[in-house]
Each structure stands twice: as C-alpha cells, then as structure tokens.
Amino acid sequence: MIAELGHFSLWLAVGVTLLLGTLPLVGAQRGRADLMALAKPATHLLLLLITISFACLITSFVRNDFSLLNVASNSNTELPLMYRVAASWGSHEGSLMLWLLMQAGWAAAVAAFSRHLPLPVQTRILSVMGLLTLSFLLFVLLTSNPFDRIFPVPLEGRDLNPQLQDPGMIIHPPMLYMGYVGMSVAFSFAVAALIGGNLDAQWARWMRPWTTVAWAFLTVGIALGSWWAYYELGWGGWWFWDAVENASFMPWLVATALIHSLAVTEKRGSFKSWTVLLAIMGYSLSLLGTFLVRSGVITSVHSFASDPKRGLFILVMLAITVGAALALYAWRAPKVGLGARFSMLSRESMLLANNVMLLVATGAVMLGTLYPLILDSLGLGKISVGAPYFDAVFVPIMAVLVFFMGLGPMARWKNDSLPELAVRLRWAAGVTVVSAALTAWIGGNITIGSVVGLLMTFWIVSSVLAELWERVRPAGGVQTQVLHRLGQLPRATVGMMVAHLGVAVFVFGVTMVGTYDIERDVAMAPGDSTTVNGYTFTYQGTQDIEGPNYSAVRGHLVVTRDGKLVSDMFPEKRIYRVQRNPMTEAAITSRVRGDLYVQMGEPIQGNTWLVRIWVKPFVSWIWFGCLLMALGGVWAVTDRRYRVRATRSESAATGATASAVR
C-alpha cells in the first residue's frame, strides 16, 4: 500500500507540473494575474507530493519491504537502520527520487524567497522549474520506477553495496544534488529572462544569491565525495579524474565562472548574454553528468548499473531542455545591449580572463572525459584517458587563473593603469616570492610543481591581505579607525576574500601532498616496527571481529614519534556477508600537519601481513580549503544589499495583510 501511495503521488505530481509549466507561463505573457497566481500554490503542492512519495520510499526501506525490487536489490535485514534510510538514495532509482525532492525543494524556496520579484518574472521562473521537474518525473516513472514490485517476494535483500555503507555516503549525495539541482535555479532565471526580455543589472542581482548558494552546495558536495574516496576506497588518493568526478567538476567550473560574470553584470551591466549562456551551460553540464553516470557510455569506477534505454531517455531530455534554452538564446540574445564599455586593463577584463580560463578548464576536462567516447563513436575503440593528461593540462590553467585571482579584486572597474596596479601589488608580489622560496627551502625536495604551487598559495594570500589593507588603511592617519573599518567591510567582500583564501588553502594542501607524500609497503610480523618520516609504526598483530553485516580482520598498529604515543590505528579488511565483497577499511589519523594512513594489504604467511603506510602532509587542508570556499560563498549571500530589498517588500507585504485583516 505504501509503495502504491508513493507511486500515485508521483503521477499526481506529473499533473501538477503540467499545470505549473503551462498556464502561469501563458498568464505571464498575457498579463493575466489570475493565471499567474497559480504558480505558487502549484509549486507548494508539488513539493508536498514529492515529499510524500520520498517518505514512502524511505518507509519501504526501513520496513524491509522486499516485494519492492529496489529494496530487495539494495537493502538487507542485517543492514543498520541508518544505512537502510541512506540506501533509499543509494541506487539509481532512489537517487533520482532525491533529485526530484531537491528540485521541488528549490522551486518552493524560490517561491518563498522571491516575493520582491515582479509577479511575471517570479511566475516564469517557477514555470520553467516546473517543466524541468516534469522531465525528471517522466524519467523516473517511465524508466526507473523505484516502486516496481517483484514476484515471488524474496525473503532477504541483496544488501547495499559495501562501499556505500559509510557515513560520508549519507550526506555526500544530498549535498551534491543540492548543487546540481541548484544550478536549475540559475537556468530558470536565465530562461525566464530570455522569455520576458528583462535581462538587466536588477536581474543579475536577483540571481546572484541563488547561484552562489547552489555553487556552495556543489563545492561541499564535491569535497565530500573526494574525502569519501580518500578514506573509503583506500587508494590513498583524493581525486582520480574519474568520469563521474569530472561530471561533477564541470558544472562546478562553469558555476564558478558564472558567479564571477554575474558580478560584472550586476555592477556594470556588461557580459549579459555571456552570463545567460553560462547559466544555461551550468545546468546543461549537470544533465550531461547525469547522462554520463547513468547511461553506461563511459566506464567509471562508480557509475550506476547502466541501461542504454535510460541513457536514450536522458539524452533526449537533455537535447530538448538545452536545445530549447539555446534556441531561445539564439533568438533573444542578439537584442541584448552590450552594457558599459571597459578598457583592456580593468576589473572587467580581469574577470573576463577568469571566465575564459575557467571555460578552458571546463573544455579540457570535457575533452578528457569524452575523448574515449568520441573515439568509440568513430569506431576507434574504448580507451581510458587518465590522470597524466588531466594533471598536465590542468595545473598550468590553474596557475594562470590564480594569477588573475590576485589581480582582479585589486583592479578598478572600467579602467585602471598598469603602473598603479603594479604599485598596489608590489608588496604582495615580493612577499609571495620570498615566502614561497623560504617554504620550499624548509621543505627540501624542490620541484617545479611544488614551487609553482607555493607561489600560487602565497600569491593569493598576500594579494588578499594587500586588498584588505587597501580597504581598511586609515585614511587620515587615524590608527583607531582600522578595526572600525574592518567591521564596516561589506559581507560580499569578506565572503570573496574568505573564498579566495580557501583556494589558497586548497592549493597548499594539494602541493604538499603532491610533493612530500610518502608511501611504504612493509611486510610486518607482530612486534615489527618501521619508521616513516619520523613516525614509528609498531605492528601488534590482528584480531577477528564481527560487524553487524560483515566479518573483519582488524590490525593494530601503535604509532609513536620521538618516543611519545601519537595514536593507535586499527585498519580492517572486511568481508560483507551478503555480497561477499572484500573491502579494505583504512585507518587514518588526521592532524593539521598531515594524515597517517594505514591499510592492511595481503596476509603473507601466518600473522605476517603486508601493510601499506602513507604519511600525507597537510592533506586535510584540501577539504578544509573547499569548506572555506563554500563558507565564503554563504557569507557573501548574507550581504546587506540582498536583504534590504527583501525586508522592505516583506514589511510592505505584512503591512498589506495587516490592513486586510483590519
């Protein structure tokens, strides 16, 4: 019964999206307030229906209803409750339900927080989001119904893929999907503006906070995925340039370009048609990622079970959605004005350079990801493009990007002069070179990569500090004003600085791990010890343990440094009882200065095991940097200028209701 209720709600939701995607849109074109008024209630109803449906799915998982194919394939009575809940979005079908929930959630959020938008604009946005939801609803119902029954009903389920039985897996997909689907808000704003013909600075200001929030979610989602791969896959790496990772990285690169180009559109009115195009591309790449992961056209370590029929459906969906948006773009964009002019050296040109580099990066990632597929469709066979290509292409692009990242915020809008800019940044440049040289010298082992990475890190830090100083420097020589002026900085500016520092932290982590990472494979009998980079690892032996749905061999290593205990580490090798998959559970001791990472290899004989030991300096800075970027984004969104307008119209609305009640 519960499953049928969930299934039925989805079909009702189809009806609601059909309504939402048509009548209000017509109303907005004809200026009919009665039709436009439908948009909001329809959006709320949509969220309600999809929430019901999703709740039904979770309930079926919690109650071990193995008459559902999806539950039987991805769950098991021995699976702990927490993972039974998470399993409801662990499969292809379930993850699409999560997608739908997010989509409806974003639409409802737009309905709730866009009271200050003119009614036709708001209506068009909601209608477009309704249509996007419709396409995913049909995809779920026609090709990937999570409520399909099976007969005979199995007594036991096949269990969730062991790699997904991990706390990281509970939060990673929701975060990532919030980002992916959040890009649909920017897309809908862009399409709505193309339909309505109101592409202006005002439009950019409305769209900015939404885009930034979606970008922040995407950042956290990708970082969590990387962190999960780091500790769960046990290869000791944090990014593998795998097709699925690239699929999430491409929308991120475009979203990053978009938040920067929106800045120009809002402040100077330039880059309008470019911004629209980026907004369309961001969501298109989310769709492309969905296609790549779920259609089986590309081999990846963590794609879903592939099905060409589903692939075809998404491809058609992608062609229609993006095709319609781009057709609208080709029709409307030529009429969009160019906005204010700017000179070769100005903040606009710096941000343009940022956009170009980010798009070149996107193109490079896309080429590497799709190259195997393109060769295949030309009949040249299936191959793999691996990390060597991506590393070689990506690092130089990032280096140029970071260079402009230092210049951009210091350059003035419209027109700047090179000598002045150079004067403003000379200290930053000097500090950068000296600190990078010093750090490389302390660290030893100087390579081109480490020097470039350190230069990038210190360039960002020192240029952010230079900018901060420029902004708070006491104007009339009154020292006490510095702190006051620090407090007066707009949140958008502080957010930007924090996000840029996040990049510095990230680059530092990547550089340190890339340069000073140490890896040892040691055969160890109980009592043996080995010293890696000053840490002494003493192997104590193994013991057999039983988990809720797995058996494991657990090793025990005591780590000391200079005779002092650092930590006890317990790497495991697990066999999950249902799927019979061996899994290595690495033991990680995480510290600010770096991680110790230990993994059980193979038993050699008796109690002697091959143990793999890594010492990874500053590796956690990689994810901390991403977190800082996201925090910076969120902080920027709370800037006054986004709120002032909202509060004003809110009080107006409250006033109106109050007078109506009276």
Partner 1 sequence: MKALRYLVPMALLLALVGFLGVGLGLNPREVPSPLIGKPAPAFNLPRLDEPTQTLGREDLLGQVWMLNVWASWCAPCREEHPLVIDIARRKLVAVYGLNYKDQTAAAQGWLAQLGNPYRANLVDRDGRVGIDFGVYGVPETFIVDRQGVIRFKHTGALTPEIVRQRIEPLLKELQSAG
Residues 6+ away with beta carbon under 8 Å from 150? 67, 68, 69, 72
Is 300 one of the binding residues for partner 1 (CB under 8 A)?
A: yes
The secondary structure element, H or E, covering residue 611 is strand 608-617
CB of 330 to partner 1, least distance (A): 4
CB of 524 to partner 1, least distance (A): 13
Q: Do 297 and 163 meet the contact criterion of CB atoms below 8 Å apart?
A: no
- Which of 158, 601, 627, 650 forms a contact with partner 1 (CB under 8 A)? 601
Of 174, 175, 185, 193, residue with least CA distance to 210: 185
Of 460, 459, 439, 461, residue with least CA distance to 450: 439
- Which of 77, 343, 384, 647 forms a contact with partner 1 (CB under 8 A)? 384
Is 280 one of the binding residues for partner 1 (CB under 8 A)?
A: yes
- Cβ distance to partner 1 smaller for residue 26 or 312: 312
Q: Distance between CA 114 and CA 110 in Å, rounded?
A: 6
Is 370 one of the binding residues for partner 1 (CB under 8 A)?
A: yes
CB of 590 to partner 1, least distance (A): 21
Is 379 one of the binding residues for partner 1 (CB under 8 A)?
A: yes
Is 359 one of the binding residues for partner 1 (CB under 8 A)?
A: no
Q: Which region, judged by CB under 8 A, interacts with partner 1, from 59-67, 153-161, 376-384, 403-411?
A: 376-384
Q: Distance between CA 549 and CA 575 in Å, rounded?
A: 9
Q: Do 569 and 595 meet the contact criterion of CB atoms below 8 Å apart?
A: no
Is 338 one of the binding residues for partner 1 (CB under 8 A)?
A: no
- Which of 18, 55, 138, 315 forms a contact with partner 1 (CB under 8 A)? 315
Site residues for partner 1, 76-115, by CB under 8 A, read none
Q: Return the ∠ at Cα 113 (arms to 222 and 329), rounded to 5°.
A: 70
Q: Do 353 and 342 meet the contact criterion of CB atoms below 8 Å apart?
A: no
Give the other-Cβ count within 10 Å of 647's Cβ: 11
- Cβ distance to partner 1 smaller for residue 141 or 373: 373
Angle between helix 167-196 and 243-268 (nearest 10): 40
Is 142 one of the binding residues for partner 1 (CB under 8 A)?
A: no
CB of 452 to partner 1, least distance (A): 20
Q: Which region, judged by CB under 8 A, interacts with partner 1, from 43-51, 61-69, 295-303, 434-442?
A: 295-303
- Which of 77, 343, 377, 590 forms a contact with partner 1 (CB under 8 A)? 377
**Sign of the Cα pseudo-torsion (493, 494, 495, 498, in order):** positive
- Which of 273, 457, 463, 542 forms a contact with partner 1 (CB under 8 A)? 273
Is 323 one of the binding residues for partner 1 (CB under 8 A)?
A: yes
Q: Distance between CA 321 and CA 596 in Å, rounded?
A: 47
Distance (Å) of CA 336 to CA 273, 281, 283 = 7, 18, 22
CB of 248 to partner 1, least distance (A): 16
- Which of 167, 308, 396, 490 forms a contact with partner 1 (CB under 8 A)? 308
How is residue 417 written in tokens?
């002069």
Site residues for partner 1, 386-445, by CB under 8 A, read 386-388
CB of 225 to partner 1, least distance (A): 15
Q: Which region, judged by CB under 8 A, interacts with partner 1, from 55-63, 140-148, 312-320, 569-577?
A: 312-320
3-state secondary structure 489-539: CCHHHHHHHHHHHHHHHHHHHHHHHHHHCEEEEEEECCCCEEEECCEEEEE
- Cβ distance to partner 1 smaller for residue 243 or 636: 243
Q: Do 67 and 34 meet the contact criterion of CB atoms below 8 Å apart?
A: no
Is 329 one of the binding residues for partner 1 (CB under 8 A)?
A: yes
Is 448 one of the binding residues for partner 1 (CB under 8 A)?
A: no
- Which of 5, 55, 138, 385 forms a contact with partner 1 (CB under 8 A)? 385
Give the other-Cβ count within 10 Å of 352's Cβ: 20
Q: Distance between CA 355 and CA 12 in Å, rounded?
A: 42
Q: Distance between CA 251 and CA 281 in Å, rounded?
A: 8
Q: Distance between CA 353 and CA 217 in Å, rounded?
A: 25
CB of 313 to partner 1, least distance (A): 10
CB of 29 to partner 1, least distance (A): 22
Which residues sit opposite 595 in a β-bridge? Answer: 590, 616
Is 312 one of the binding residues for partner 1 (CB under 8 A)?
A: yes
Is 375 one of the binding residues for partner 1 (CB under 8 A)?
A: yes
Q: Do 254 and 359 meet the contact criterion of CB atoms below 8 Å apart?
A: yes
- Which of 5, 18, 55, 318 forms a contact with partner 1 (CB under 8 A)? 318
Is 333 one of the binding residues for partner 1 (CB under 8 A)?
A: yes
- Cβ distance to partner 1 smaller for residue 309 or 591: 309
Site residues for partner 1, 462-521, by CB under 8 A, read 519, 521
Q: Where do the H-state alpha helices sit in 229-295?
A: 243-268, 272-295
Site residues for partner 1, 195-254, by CB under 8 A, read 235, 240, 242-243
- Which of 30, 32, 382, 426 forms a contact with partner 1 (CB under 8 A)? 382
For partner 1, the binding residues (CB under 8 A) are 235, 240, 242-243, 273, 277, 280-281, 284, 288, 291, 295, 297, 299-301, 308, 311-312, 315, 318-319, 322-323, 326-327, 329-330, 333-334, 370, 372-377, 379-388, 519, 521, 601-602, 610, 612
